[in-house]
A = this chain, B = another copy of it.
Amino acid sequence: MESERAILAFAALAQSTRLDVFKLLIEHEPHGLPAGEVAKRLGVPHNTMSTHLAVLSRAGLIGAERQSRTIIYRVRLAAVSELASFLVQNCCAGRPEVCEPLLAELSPCCPPATVKNEPVHD
């Protein structure tokens, strides 16, 4: 991931409403939410929300899919992954000993042993 794309992504997330949108859509993976629902749940006018969704979309962090009259927005997990990699890879460049503590802190988030075929109670 080149710096220009990373800056777009960082800028998109550096705003409270958009960060809230990001979190909300993450919670609604993998089904996503219609634009209007996002606006209603966060108490933001639909046109303001449309602008924010466009920013997140241009940054590649979310994607849109039309379903009849509504447009469903979903997080693009690959983009999130790339952004996290960008953060960490800049640290790793030539210095694995610097990167090690970073990955050590990230790993407990998803214990590999419990990830496989562990049903999620919903």
Contacts and interface: CB of A to CB of B under 8 A. Distances in A.
Interface in A78-100: 80-85, 87-100
A42 interface: no
Interface stretch (A4-12, A33-41, A45-53, A64-72): A4-12
Given A14-B7, A19-B3, A102-B81, A115 B97 contact: yes
Interface residues of A, number: 52
Nearest to A22: B90
Given A3-B19, A102-B77, A105-B85, A26 B96 contact: no
A115 to B, nearest CB: 5
Contacts of A91: 26, 29, 75, 77, 80
B26 A93 contact: yes
A10 B93 CA distance: 21
Given A81-B106, A96-B115, A97-B115, 13 more contacts: A7-B13, A7-B15, A10-B10, A10-B13, A26-B91, A80-B87, A81-B101, A81-B105, A84-B84, A88-B109, A89-B109, A92-B110, A97-B120
